[in-house]
Amino acid sequence: MIRTTLLWLVGAVLVIGTFWNIHIADSAVAGIEPRGEEDVTVIENKYLPIEFELIRKYPNTKRVGYISALTVKGEPPDDLDNLRFAQLRYVMIPRILVRGVGEQFVIGSFTPGKPVPEAPDNLVQVYDAGTGMILYRQKKTP
Amino acid sequence: MTPRDLIFFTLAIMVAGLIGYLIADRLCPRNYPRWLVWAFAPPTGLGICSLIVFFFRRPLTTVEAMVLAALLFFWFRSHRTSFDGYRIVSSWRVPILAVVFAIGLGWSVGSSVIHVERYPNGLTDGWNIWNSHAKYLAAGGKTWTVDIQNTAHPDYPLLLPGVVVHAWRYIGSNSPDATGFVGILFELSAVGILAATLMKLRSPIVGMLMALVLIGSPEYIHNAASEYADVPLSVFIVSTIALICLYESEESKPVGLIALSGFMAGCAAWTKNEGVPFTLATIAVLLLPVFWSPSATVRRIGGFAAGLSLPLAAIVYFKVTIALPNDLFDNRTSADLIAKISDPSRYLLIFKSYILTGWTFGGWAFNPFLPILAFIGLSGVDRSISRSFSWRGGVAIVAMLQVVYFVIYVITPLELNYHLRSSMDRLLMHVWPACLLLAGMVVRKQALSASP
């Protein structure tokens, strides 16, 4: 009798504990920022005007270079820069994003509202998305 | 996700589920209740559809239609339409625990759906690895094998990207939410397999309680909705061990069950690299009795190998022709390895991390370990289980996998603290449903044998 009572008691504790765990998980989900503020979605929205420009004018472009405020200054990318690069690389698939200025087209990813650093000499601006992302292309060699 | 996308996503999952059911139905004994067969349908179907995507890519819907037609043809030839199995379900008295279980499951899934809505691309591993691979697989043309090398961890196997591409093809676009819903589906599969296997081998109460504990593991649910492949891997691990337990529990030793187990183990290796040592550990455990019962062992391993062959072919083809070397093993020197292996502080650090993370990896506010132990103790321990090959084998597989993970941590080229912090909780997730299954198997059968 005591054993059965204890068994039901332990079962009830397990069930209540599980519901408490679900409540904690549910509360955490409720605190997540709205969909439009999620990092990858933000990057995607910043990039989309450039994608439309590429589709409109240079649809066969597959490989695209990448520069940021840090790399333009010749500094190594930090963790945040690496994260932003990875996020942009993801949203650009099936295009291929690679670091550097060696490709025909290069995307500059900068902080909106801050002055855009001067682009490397071999690049000329093609399109400014107005979102902190700028599309460059190689200067035509004479 | 728009209502239209949701309809086509549902269709994609129904096709995979039906293929999975028809295969599981052919491989499970005829006298098995239908709900048990259905429990194994989603991982089987998703595994098959992933392999179809990998081998056939563009005509995948045609191939799936052909596979489905063939399976339906054989099913109608061998079955008279009967609802006997379901009548048993309808005759169940629904106990209070089943209602509680359904409420918990519904609440958890609802929460996960909101998570997916907020993080449509999943968390870092979701978009950086699995969705990136899926996007190249879906749209990269003939050069996808080269293009995929511009992603993080291009050597990771393609089961999850394959399943995502399967869903995207039905939807007609790369709907990001679909990937999170696939994660939730895998989570539900783990819950279903755990509950159904314990219902069959122990009792409905044990099955539902253990499944409820899994649902109440916030990190597990979080990882599923974030599209981390650790949850699908855990599904294939628990499926493999559950099917070995079911195989061993049948006197006739139906070879179909062990073949399905082999397929699940192969899918584990096709999901993540960690699935490879799991598959090897399973093979070693299944082979071990060859010294005292050779004929039974040959039959067991033969069936297992038959099921394993298809995913194994995909893995070998992928690793040999496409995948780059793994970042943990590439460019390693023997001097570096020896220095790490001979450093006792690394062992101590890993051991400490196992102890600490082992207590917290589920992200619980209420830790279920002690109540589970109390429940097992009060229900009565089935002492015969310690002599059962399937239970001892399951424990050995889980233990061997942890030993492999331990060794990987010892020799990892990454900074050890960072590597432990960033991965150990997820590695423990791999075996969490299997541990709940093995814990449930310890409960004495007669103690809680009430029909649901």
452 residues of chain B, pLDDT tens digit each: 888 889 999 999 999 999 999 999 999 988 888 899 999 999 999 999 999 999 887 777 788 888 888 888 888 888 766 655 555 555 556 678 888 899 999 999 999 999 999 998 889 999 999 999 999 998 867 788 888 888 888 889 999 999 999 999 999 888 889 999 999 999 999 999 999 999 999 999 999 999 999 999 999 999 999 999 999 999 999 999 999 999 999 988 899 999 999 999 999 999 999 999 999 999 999 999 988 889 989 999 999 999 999 999 999 999 888 867 777 777 778 888 898 899 999 999 999 999 999 999 999 999 999 999 999 999 988 888 888 999 999 999 999 999 999 999 999 988 999 999 999 999 999 999 999 999 999 998 765 554 44
For residue A3, give how far its alpha carbon lies from the nearest alpha carbon of chain B (Å): 6
At A78, phi and psi to the nearest 5?
-95, -175
Of B147, B221, B368, the CB nearest to A17: B368
What ipTM does the predicted assembly reach?
0.90
Chain B residue numbers touching A96 (CB-CB < 8 A): 147, 150
Chain B residue numbers touching A7 (CB-CB < 8 A): 375, 378-379
Sign of dihedral through CA atoms B66, B68, B69, B74?
Answer: positive
Chain A residue numbers touching B439 (CB-CB < 8 A): none
What angle do helix axes B218-225 and B176-201 make, rounded to 10 degrees? Answer: 140
Position B94 scores a pLDDT of 61
At A125, phi and psi to the nearest 5?
-70, 135
Mutate one of B366, B367, B449 to test the A interface: name it (highest A CB count within 10 A): B366
Position A19 scores a pLDDT of 93
For residue B117, give how far its alpha carbon lies from the nearest alpha carbon of chain A (Å): 7
Residue A11 to residue B375, Cβ atoms within 8 A: yes
Residue B416 CB neighbour total at 10 angstroms = 18
At B251, phi and psi to the nearest 5?
-65, -35
Residue A14, chain B, CB below 8 Å: the answer is yes
Residue B186 and residue B43 in contact, taking contact as beta carbons nearer than 8 Å: yes
For residue A63, the chain B residue with the least C-alpha distance is B147
Cross-sheet strand order for the sheet of A105-109: A96-99, A63-68, A105-109, A133-138, A123-128
Position B246 scores a pLDDT of 95
Secondary structure tally for chain A: helices H, strands E: 4, 5
Mind listing the pLDDT tens digit for each residue in A85-111?
999 999 999 899 999 888 999 999 988
Longest dimension (CA), chain A: 96
The DSSP call for residue A95 is S
Give the CB-side neighbour count of residue A50, counting CA atoms within 13 A: 29
Chain A residue numbers touching B213 (CB-CB < 8 A): 14, 18
Position B452 scores a pLDDT of 40
Residue A132 and residue A110 in contact, taking contact as beta carbons nearer than 8 Å: yes
Residues of chain A with pLDDT under 70: 141-142
Position B451 scores a pLDDT of 43
Chain B residue numbers touching A22 (CB-CB < 8 A): 104, 107-108, 111, 215-216, 218
Three-class SS of residue B391?
A: helix
Position B329 scores a pLDDT of 73
Position B450 scores a pLDDT of 47
For residue A10, give how far its alpha carbon lies from the nearest alpha carbon of chain B (Å): 6
Residue B195 and residue B209 in contact, taking contact as beta carbons nearer than 8 Å: no
Cα–Cα nearest to B272, from B221, B309, B311: B311
d(CA B205, CA B94): 12
Name residue A135's beta-bridge partners.
A107, A127
